[in-house]
Amino acid sequence: MSLTVTAAAERALNKSVADRMMRGRGFRWDPGVVTNCTVPYSSDMARTPMMLLWSAVFAGYVALGATIQVLPPYVTGRFGTSATVAGWTVGIAFAATALSRPVAGWFADAGRSRVFVRLGGLLTALGGAGHLIAQSVGEILVARIVMGAGEAALFSAAIPWVLAGVPTAEKGKVAGWFGLSMWGGLAAGPVLASVILQTGSTRAVWVVVTLLGLLSFVLVSLVRAPESPSDLRSPFSLRGLLPRGSTAPGVVFGLSAYGYGAINAILVLDLHSRNLAAANYALAVFAAAFLVTRFLGSPLVTRWGGRAVWFVVIVIEVVGALFLAIPSLGTVGAVVGAALTGVGVSLMFPATVSVTLGRTGRTAPGTSVAVMTSFWDLGLLIAGPLSGLIADRSGYGAAFAVAAGVASFALLLGLVTKTSLPHGSVESRSGTALGREEERESV
Protein backbone atom coordinates (compact mmCIF):
# COMPACT_ATOMS: atom_id res chain seq x y z
CA MET A 1 0.00 0.00 0.00
CA SER A 2 1.39 3.37 -0.99
CA LEU A 3 0.17 6.57 0.56
CA THR A 4 1.04 10.13 -0.45
CA VAL A 5 0.65 12.57 2.41
CA THR A 6 -0.19 16.21 1.78
CA ALA A 7 1.24 19.02 3.90
CA ALA A 8 -2.09 19.49 5.67
CA ALA A 9 -2.39 15.78 6.38
CA GLU A 10 1.18 15.67 7.63
CA ARG A 11 0.50 18.48 10.09
CA ALA A 12 -2.67 16.76 11.27
CA LEU A 13 -0.89 13.45 11.77
CA ASN A 14 1.98 15.06 13.64
CA LYS A 15 -0.51 16.88 15.87
CA SER A 16 -2.32 13.61 16.55
CA VAL A 17 0.95 11.91 17.50
CA ALA A 18 1.88 14.78 19.83
CA ASP A 19 -1.57 14.79 21.47
CA ARG A 20 -1.44 11.05 22.13
CA MET A 21 2.03 11.32 23.65
CA MET A 22 0.92 14.18 25.89
CA ARG A 23 -2.03 12.15 27.16
CA GLY A 24 0.25 9.16 27.80
CA ARG A 25 -1.86 6.79 25.68
CA GLY A 26 1.16 5.53 23.77
CA PHE A 27 1.94 5.59 20.08
CA ARG A 28 3.49 2.81 18.07
CA TRP A 29 4.29 3.37 14.44
CA ASP A 30 3.28 0.36 12.35
CA PRO A 31 5.13 0.34 9.02
CA GLY A 32 2.91 -2.54 7.93
CA VAL A 33 -0.10 -0.21 7.90
CA VAL A 34 1.47 2.89 6.38
CA THR A 35 4.38 2.43 3.98
CA ASN A 36 6.22 4.84 1.70
CA CYS A 37 4.95 7.60 3.95
CA THR A 38 6.87 10.86 3.80
CA VAL A 39 5.98 11.95 7.33
CA PRO A 40 9.20 12.26 9.34
CA TYR A 41 9.52 11.54 13.04
CA SER A 42 10.08 15.17 13.85
CA SER A 43 7.32 16.59 16.04
CA ASP A 44 8.42 18.68 18.99
CA MET A 45 6.61 16.39 21.40
CA ALA A 46 8.56 13.41 20.04
CA ARG A 47 11.86 15.21 20.35
CA THR A 48 11.45 16.57 23.87
CA PRO A 49 11.40 13.22 25.74
CA MET A 50 14.36 12.02 23.71
CA MET A 51 16.34 15.15 24.49
CA LEU A 52 15.65 14.72 28.20
CA LEU A 53 16.68 11.07 28.11
CA TRP A 54 19.79 11.89 26.06
CA SER A 55 20.77 14.54 28.58
CA ALA A 56 20.11 12.20 31.51
CA VAL A 57 22.31 9.44 30.11
CA PHE A 58 24.98 11.94 29.10
CA ALA A 59 25.10 13.39 32.63
CA GLY A 60 25.48 9.92 34.14
CA TYR A 61 28.31 8.94 31.82
CA VAL A 62 30.10 12.26 32.26
CA ALA A 63 30.16 11.31 35.94
CA LEU A 64 31.67 7.89 35.17
CA GLY A 65 34.20 9.38 32.75
CA ALA A 66 35.30 11.93 35.34
CA THR A 67 36.11 9.18 37.82
CA ILE A 68 38.25 7.39 35.21
CA GLN A 69 40.51 10.43 34.90
CA VAL A 70 40.97 10.90 38.63
CA LEU A 71 40.77 7.45 40.18
CA PRO A 72 44.12 5.77 39.27
CA PRO A 73 46.40 8.52 40.64
CA TYR A 74 44.01 9.10 43.56
CA VAL A 75 44.11 5.46 44.66
CA THR A 76 47.86 5.09 44.27
CA GLY A 77 48.55 8.44 45.94
CA ARG A 78 46.14 8.33 48.89
CA PHE A 79 46.21 4.62 49.69
CA GLY A 80 49.68 3.76 48.42
CA THR A 81 48.46 0.96 46.17
CA SER A 82 50.09 -0.53 43.07
CA ALA A 83 49.06 0.05 39.47
CA THR A 84 47.39 -3.37 39.58
CA VAL A 85 45.04 -2.32 42.38
CA ALA A 86 44.39 0.98 40.63
CA GLY A 87 43.41 -1.00 37.56
CA TRP A 88 40.97 -3.07 39.62
CA THR A 89 39.29 0.05 40.98
CA VAL A 90 38.67 1.25 37.43
CA GLY A 91 37.70 -2.13 36.02
CA ILE A 92 35.35 -3.44 38.70
CA ALA A 93 32.73 -0.86 37.78
CA PHE A 94 32.53 -2.43 34.36
CA ALA A 95 31.94 -5.87 35.92
CA ALA A 96 28.82 -4.55 37.62
CA THR A 97 27.79 -2.87 34.37
CA ALA A 98 28.26 -6.05 32.34
CA LEU A 99 26.12 -8.12 34.72
CA SER A 100 23.39 -5.48 34.97
CA ARG A 101 22.93 -4.56 31.31
CA PRO A 102 20.97 -7.64 30.14
CA VAL A 103 18.58 -7.34 33.08
CA ALA A 104 18.00 -3.64 32.40
CA GLY A 105 17.52 -4.35 28.69
CA TRP A 106 15.00 -7.11 29.37
CA PHE A 107 12.89 -4.97 31.69
CA ALA A 108 13.03 -2.14 29.15
CA ASP A 109 11.71 -4.52 26.49
CA ALA A 110 8.96 -5.37 29.00
CA GLY A 111 7.95 -1.70 29.29
CA ARG A 112 9.76 -0.83 32.53
CA SER A 113 12.28 1.66 31.17
CA ARG A 114 11.32 4.59 33.40
CA VAL A 115 11.89 2.71 36.65
CA PHE A 116 15.30 1.42 35.63
CA VAL A 117 16.59 4.65 34.08
CA ARG A 118 15.62 6.60 37.20
CA LEU A 119 17.27 3.92 39.34
CA GLY A 120 20.38 4.36 37.23
CA GLY A 121 20.58 8.05 38.09
CA LEU A 122 20.17 7.36 41.81
CA LEU A 123 22.83 4.63 41.81
CA THR A 124 25.24 6.90 39.96
CA ALA A 125 24.75 9.60 42.60
CA LEU A 126 25.14 7.06 45.40
CA GLY A 127 28.34 5.75 43.83
CA GLY A 128 29.72 9.29 43.55
CA ALA A 129 28.98 9.92 47.22
CA GLY A 130 30.73 6.66 48.03
CA HIS A 131 33.91 7.93 46.35
CA LEU A 132 33.66 11.08 48.45
CA ILE A 133 33.40 9.37 51.83
CA ALA A 134 35.51 6.26 51.17
CA GLN A 135 38.26 5.67 53.73
CA SER A 136 39.78 2.53 52.19
CA VAL A 137 40.30 0.78 48.88
CA GLY A 138 37.54 -1.68 49.81
CA GLU A 139 35.03 1.15 50.17
CA ILE A 140 36.15 2.58 46.83
CA LEU A 141 35.49 -0.80 45.23
CA VAL A 142 31.95 -0.89 46.66
CA ALA A 143 31.30 2.62 45.33
CA ARG A 144 32.56 1.54 41.92
CA ILE A 145 30.20 -1.46 41.84
CA VAL A 146 27.23 0.73 42.69
CA MET A 147 28.17 3.26 40.02
CA GLY A 148 28.69 0.54 37.42
CA ALA A 149 25.21 -0.88 38.00
CA GLY A 150 23.79 2.62 37.70
CA GLU A 151 25.45 3.25 34.35
CA ALA A 152 24.07 -0.04 33.00
CA ALA A 153 20.53 0.87 34.00
CA LEU A 154 20.83 4.36 32.52
CA PHE A 155 21.77 3.42 28.98
CA SER A 156 20.49 -0.11 28.48
CA ALA A 157 17.02 0.72 29.78
CA ALA A 158 16.85 4.07 27.97
CA ILE A 159 17.64 3.06 24.40
CA PRO A 160 14.66 0.68 23.91
CA TRP A 161 12.44 3.41 25.35
CA VAL A 162 13.78 5.91 22.85
CA LEU A 163 13.33 3.61 19.86
CA ALA A 164 9.86 2.29 20.79
CA GLY A 165 7.89 4.81 18.71
CA VAL A 166 10.44 5.68 16.04
CA PRO A 167 9.61 4.78 12.41
CA THR A 168 11.70 1.97 10.97
CA ALA A 169 13.47 4.26 8.51
CA GLU A 170 14.63 6.49 11.36
CA LYS A 171 15.70 3.89 13.93
CA GLY A 172 19.31 3.57 12.80
CA LYS A 173 19.96 7.30 12.85
CA VAL A 174 18.22 7.78 16.18
CA ALA A 175 20.11 4.88 17.78
CA GLY A 176 23.45 6.19 16.55
CA TRP A 177 22.71 9.69 17.76
CA PHE A 178 21.39 8.52 21.11
CA GLY A 179 24.46 6.32 21.59
CA LEU A 180 26.57 9.46 21.75
CA SER A 181 24.98 10.15 25.14
CA MET A 182 27.02 7.29 26.56
CA TRP A 183 30.19 7.52 24.50
CA GLY A 184 30.20 11.33 24.51
CA GLY A 185 29.77 11.34 28.29
CA LEU A 186 32.68 8.94 28.73
CA ALA A 187 34.78 11.16 26.49
CA ALA A 188 33.75 14.44 28.12
CA GLY A 189 34.08 13.24 31.70
CA PRO A 190 37.91 13.16 31.81
CA VAL A 191 38.01 16.66 30.32
CA LEU A 192 35.67 17.97 33.01
CA ALA A 193 37.71 16.29 35.74
CA SER A 194 40.93 17.86 34.42
CA VAL A 195 39.33 21.31 34.44
CA ILE A 196 38.10 20.85 38.02
CA LEU A 197 41.53 19.69 39.19
CA GLN A 198 43.12 22.85 37.80
CA THR A 199 41.32 24.94 40.41
CA GLY A 200 40.00 22.40 42.91
CA SER A 201 40.71 19.05 44.49
CA THR A 202 39.78 15.43 43.99
CA ARG A 203 36.99 15.89 46.54
CA ALA A 204 35.52 18.55 44.27
CA VAL A 205 35.44 16.02 41.45
CA TRP A 206 33.57 13.52 43.63
CA VAL A 207 31.02 16.21 44.58
CA VAL A 208 30.41 17.05 40.92
CA VAL A 209 30.06 13.34 40.09
CA THR A 210 27.39 12.98 42.78
CA LEU A 211 25.49 16.03 41.53
CA LEU A 212 25.58 14.73 37.96
CA GLY A 213 23.90 11.52 39.10
CA LEU A 214 21.16 13.50 40.82
CA LEU A 215 20.74 15.64 37.70
CA SER A 216 20.29 12.47 35.66
CA PHE A 217 17.51 11.30 38.00
CA VAL A 218 15.71 14.65 37.80
CA LEU A 219 15.87 14.75 33.99
CA VAL A 220 14.40 11.26 33.66
CA SER A 221 11.65 12.18 36.10
CA LEU A 222 10.57 14.94 33.71
CA VAL A 223 10.04 12.53 30.80
CA ARG A 224 6.38 11.86 30.07
CA ALA A 225 6.73 9.64 27.00
CA PRO A 226 4.81 6.35 27.20
CA GLU A 227 6.59 3.00 27.30
CA SER A 228 5.82 0.32 24.71
CA PRO A 229 6.70 -3.29 25.59
CA SER A 230 8.25 -5.42 22.84
CA ASP A 231 5.84 -8.01 21.45
CA LEU A 232 8.72 -10.41 20.73
CA ARG A 233 10.63 -10.26 24.01
CA SER A 234 12.09 -13.47 25.41
CA PRO A 235 11.09 -14.94 28.80
CA PHE A 236 13.04 -13.79 31.85
CA SER A 237 15.53 -16.64 32.01
CA LEU A 238 19.20 -17.21 31.36
CA ARG A 239 18.42 -18.08 27.75
CA GLY A 240 16.09 -15.10 27.44
CA LEU A 241 18.81 -12.78 28.74
CA LEU A 242 21.28 -14.09 26.15
CA PRO A 243 19.55 -13.82 22.74
CA ARG A 244 20.88 -16.17 20.08
CA GLY A 245 23.35 -14.45 17.78
CA SER A 246 24.44 -11.69 20.16
CA THR A 247 27.52 -13.33 21.68
CA ALA A 248 29.92 -13.63 18.71
CA PRO A 249 29.83 -9.93 17.73
CA GLY A 250 29.86 -9.13 21.43
CA VAL A 251 33.17 -10.98 21.87
CA VAL A 252 34.72 -8.99 19.01
CA PHE A 253 33.43 -5.82 20.65
CA GLY A 254 34.80 -6.86 24.04
CA LEU A 255 38.28 -7.64 22.66
CA SER A 256 38.38 -4.25 20.95
CA ALA A 257 37.59 -2.66 24.32
CA TYR A 258 40.85 -3.90 25.83
CA GLY A 259 42.92 -1.05 24.41
CA TYR A 260 40.47 1.52 25.75
CA GLY A 261 40.54 -0.17 29.14
CA ALA A 262 44.34 -0.09 29.18
CA ILE A 263 44.30 3.62 28.43
CA ASN A 264 41.80 4.25 31.22
CA ALA A 265 43.79 2.28 33.76
CA ILE A 266 47.45 3.11 33.10
CA LEU A 267 47.98 5.87 30.53
CA VAL A 268 47.91 8.71 33.06
CA LEU A 269 50.17 6.72 35.40
CA ASP A 270 52.58 6.00 32.54
CA LEU A 271 52.86 9.63 31.52
CA HIS A 272 53.23 10.80 35.12
CA SER A 273 56.05 8.30 35.63
CA ARG A 274 57.88 9.86 32.66
CA ASN A 275 57.11 13.43 33.81
CA LEU A 276 55.33 14.24 30.57
CA ALA A 277 52.86 17.12 30.49
CA ALA A 278 50.68 14.99 28.21
CA ALA A 279 49.39 13.32 31.39
CA ASN A 280 47.08 16.33 31.76
CA TYR A 281 45.55 16.16 28.30
CA ALA A 282 46.14 12.73 26.71
CA LEU A 283 42.66 11.50 27.66
CA ALA A 284 41.21 14.71 26.27
CA VAL A 285 42.98 13.99 22.97
CA PHE A 286 41.44 10.52 22.99
CA ALA A 287 38.02 12.07 23.65
CA ALA A 288 38.33 14.60 20.83
CA ALA A 289 39.43 11.96 18.32
CA PHE A 290 36.58 9.73 19.39
CA LEU A 291 33.86 12.36 19.05
CA VAL A 292 35.06 13.79 15.72
CA THR A 293 35.33 10.33 14.18
CA ARG A 294 31.95 9.29 15.49
CA PHE A 295 30.23 12.33 14.00
CA LEU A 296 32.00 12.20 10.64
CA GLY A 297 32.48 8.45 10.26
CA SER A 298 29.09 7.02 11.19
CA PRO A 299 27.83 7.04 7.56
CA LEU A 300 30.56 4.52 6.77
CA VAL A 301 28.57 1.86 8.63
CA THR A 302 25.72 2.43 6.17
CA ARG A 303 28.00 2.57 3.15
CA TRP A 304 30.36 -0.31 3.93
CA GLY A 305 28.47 -2.40 6.46
CA GLY A 306 29.31 -3.05 10.08
CA ARG A 307 31.74 -5.90 9.44
CA ALA A 308 33.87 -3.93 6.99
CA VAL A 309 34.05 -1.00 9.42
CA TRP A 310 35.25 -3.43 12.10
CA PHE A 311 38.36 -4.26 10.12
CA VAL A 312 39.33 -0.67 9.38
CA VAL A 313 38.91 0.71 12.89
CA ILE A 314 40.49 -2.27 14.66
CA VAL A 315 43.62 -1.91 12.51
CA ILE A 316 43.76 1.77 13.51
CA GLU A 317 43.41 0.78 17.17
CA VAL A 318 46.31 -1.68 16.84
CA VAL A 319 48.54 1.03 15.41
CA GLY A 320 47.55 3.41 18.20
CA ALA A 321 48.43 0.86 20.89
CA LEU A 322 51.82 0.29 19.26
CA PHE A 323 52.58 4.02 19.43
CA LEU A 324 51.80 3.93 23.16
CA ALA A 325 54.02 0.86 23.57
CA ILE A 326 57.17 2.72 22.49
CA PRO A 327 58.28 5.05 25.36
CA SER A 328 61.06 6.58 23.28
CA LEU A 329 58.45 8.36 21.16
CA GLY A 330 57.76 10.62 24.16
CA THR A 331 54.92 13.13 24.06
CA VAL A 332 54.37 12.72 20.33
CA GLY A 333 53.90 8.97 20.68
CA ALA A 334 51.51 9.39 23.60
CA VAL A 335 49.35 11.96 21.81
CA VAL A 336 49.30 10.14 18.47
CA GLY A 337 48.64 6.81 20.17
CA ALA A 338 45.76 8.20 22.21
CA ALA A 339 44.25 9.86 19.14
CA LEU A 340 44.48 6.74 16.96
CA THR A 341 42.99 4.59 19.68
CA GLY A 342 40.12 7.06 19.99
CA VAL A 343 39.52 6.83 16.24
CA GLY A 344 39.57 3.04 16.40
CA VAL A 345 37.19 2.74 19.33
CA SER A 346 34.70 5.34 18.11
CA LEU A 347 32.94 3.33 15.39
CA MET A 348 33.00 -0.07 17.07
CA PHE A 349 29.63 0.48 18.77
CA PRO A 350 27.53 1.38 15.69
CA ALA A 351 29.32 -1.26 13.61
CA THR A 352 28.69 -3.98 16.20
CA VAL A 353 25.05 -2.96 16.67
CA SER A 354 24.60 -3.38 12.91
CA VAL A 355 26.13 -6.87 12.94
CA THR A 356 24.31 -7.93 16.11
CA LEU A 357 20.82 -6.92 15.01
CA GLY A 358 21.45 -8.60 11.69
CA ARG A 359 22.02 -11.86 13.58
CA THR A 360 19.37 -11.64 16.30
CA GLY A 361 16.39 -10.31 14.36
CA ARG A 362 13.52 -8.43 16.01
CA THR A 363 13.37 -10.53 19.17
CA ALA A 364 14.15 -8.36 22.21
CA PRO A 365 16.36 -5.74 20.53
CA GLY A 366 16.99 -4.02 23.84
CA THR A 367 18.28 -7.21 25.42
CA SER A 368 20.37 -8.05 22.36
CA VAL A 369 22.15 -4.70 22.32
CA ALA A 370 22.56 -4.84 26.10
CA VAL A 371 24.24 -8.26 25.94
CA MET A 372 26.49 -7.09 23.14
CA THR A 373 27.50 -4.04 25.15
CA SER A 374 28.15 -6.20 28.23
CA PHE A 375 31.07 -7.78 26.41
CA TRP A 376 32.54 -4.30 26.08
CA ASP A 377 32.26 -3.90 29.83
CA LEU A 378 33.92 -7.27 30.37
CA GLY A 379 36.77 -6.21 28.11
CA LEU A 380 37.28 -3.10 30.21
CA LEU A 381 37.06 -5.16 33.40
CA ILE A 382 39.85 -7.48 32.27
CA ALA A 383 41.96 -4.73 30.72
CA GLY A 384 42.16 -2.60 33.86
CA PRO A 385 43.78 -4.99 36.34
CA LEU A 386 45.68 -7.01 33.72
CA SER A 387 47.27 -3.89 32.23
CA GLY A 388 48.21 -2.75 35.71
CA LEU A 389 49.74 -6.14 36.52
CA ILE A 390 51.78 -6.20 33.31
CA ALA A 391 52.90 -2.61 33.88
CA ASP A 392 54.07 -3.47 37.42
CA ARG A 393 56.08 -6.47 36.25
CA SER A 394 57.26 -5.59 32.75
CA GLY A 395 56.67 -1.89 32.24
CA TYR A 396 54.01 0.26 30.64
CA GLY A 397 55.32 -0.35 27.13
CA ALA A 398 54.74 -4.08 27.50
CA ALA A 399 51.19 -3.45 28.76
CA PHE A 400 50.31 -1.46 25.64
CA ALA A 401 52.00 -4.05 23.41
CA VAL A 402 49.64 -6.66 24.87
CA ALA A 403 46.73 -4.31 24.09
CA ALA A 404 47.85 -4.26 20.46
CA GLY A 405 47.93 -8.07 20.46
CA VAL A 406 44.42 -8.36 21.89
CA ALA A 407 43.06 -5.98 19.26
CA SER A 408 44.76 -8.06 16.57
CA PHE A 409 42.97 -11.14 17.87
CA ALA A 410 39.67 -9.22 17.66
CA LEU A 411 40.46 -8.58 14.01
CA LEU A 412 40.98 -12.28 13.33
CA LEU A 413 37.78 -13.25 15.15
CA GLY A 414 35.84 -10.68 13.16
CA LEU A 415 36.93 -12.40 9.96
CA VAL A 416 35.11 -15.59 10.92
CA THR A 417 32.02 -13.97 12.48
CA LYS A 418 28.98 -14.33 10.25
CA THR A 419 26.68 -11.36 9.79
CA SER A 420 23.50 -13.49 9.85
CA LEU A 421 22.21 -16.65 11.51
CA PRO A 422 21.96 -19.96 9.60
CA HIS A 423 18.91 -20.09 7.36
CA GLY A 424 15.86 -22.14 8.20
CA SER A 425 14.37 -20.55 11.29
CA VAL A 426 11.95 -17.67 11.66
CA GLU A 427 14.50 -15.90 13.83
CA SER A 428 17.27 -16.20 11.27
CA ARG A 429 15.08 -14.97 8.44
CA SER A 430 13.91 -11.93 10.40
CA GLY A 431 17.46 -11.31 11.56
CA THR A 432 18.82 -11.30 8.02
CA ALA A 433 16.12 -8.94 6.85
CA LEU A 434 16.71 -6.60 9.74
CA GLY A 435 20.45 -6.71 9.18
CA ARG A 436 20.00 -5.57 5.58
CA GLU A 437 17.66 -2.84 6.74
CA GLU A 438 20.10 -1.64 9.42
CA GLU A 439 22.95 -1.55 6.90
CA ARG A 440 20.93 0.93 4.86
CA GLU A 441 20.25 3.18 7.83
CA SER A 442 22.65 5.55 9.54
CA VAL A 443 24.00 4.04 12.74
CATH, domain range 27-35+46-228:
1.20.1250.20
Cβ atoms 150, 121 nearer than 8 A: yes
Write down the pLDDT at residue 312. Answer: 94
pLDDT at res. 165: 63
State which residues of the chain have pLDDT below 70: 1-48, 163, 165-176, 225-246, 360-366, 419-443
Measure CA 157 to chain center: 12
How far lies 86's CA from each of 66, 83, 141, 176, in Å? 15, 5, 10, 32
Give the other-Cβ count within 10 Å of 173's Cβ: 16
What does DSSP assign to residue 131? H
Burial label, 432 (beta-carbon count in 10 A; 0-12, 13-18, 19+): middle
How many alpha carbons fall within 13 Å on the CB side of residue 9? 7
DSSP letter, residue 19? H
**Each residue's pLDDT tens digit, 80-113:** 888 778 878 887 887 888 888 888 777 777 777 7
Q: With left for phi above 0 and alpha for psi between -120 and 50, is residue 364 left, alpha or beta?
A: left
Under 8 Å CB-to-CB from 294, ≥6 apart: which residues? 180, 183, 184, 346, 347, 350
Q: What's the residue count for the chain? A: 443
Residue 27 confidence (pLDDT): 33
- The predicted structure's pLDDT at residue 216: 95
**Is the CA virtual torsion 269, 318, 368, 306 positive or negative?**
positive
The per-residue pLDDT for range 242-287, each reduced to its tens digit, is 666 667 888 999 999 999 889 988 898 899 999 888 888 888 899 8
Please indicate, yes or no, whether the overall pTM of this predicted structure exceeds 0.75: no
For residue 149, what pLDDT is reported? 93
**156: CB partners within 8 A, 6+ apart:** 100, 101, 102, 104, 105, 108, 366, 369, 370, 373
- Residue 340: per-residue pLDDT: 96
Which are the contacts of 190, defined by CB distance < 8 A and separation ≥ 6?
A: 65, 66, 68, 69, 283, 284, 286, 287
In the chain, list all ranges with CATH 1.20.1250.20.
Answer: 27-35+46-228, 241-443
Per-residue pLDDT, 172: 52
Query: What was the pLDDT predicted at 219?
Result: 93
CATH number for the segment(s) 241-443? 1.20.1250.20
Return d(Cα 394, Cα 378) in angstroms, integer.
24
pLDDT at 94: 78
For residue 24, give the nearest of 3, 49, 6, 5 by alpha carbon: 49
pLDDT of residue 235: 52
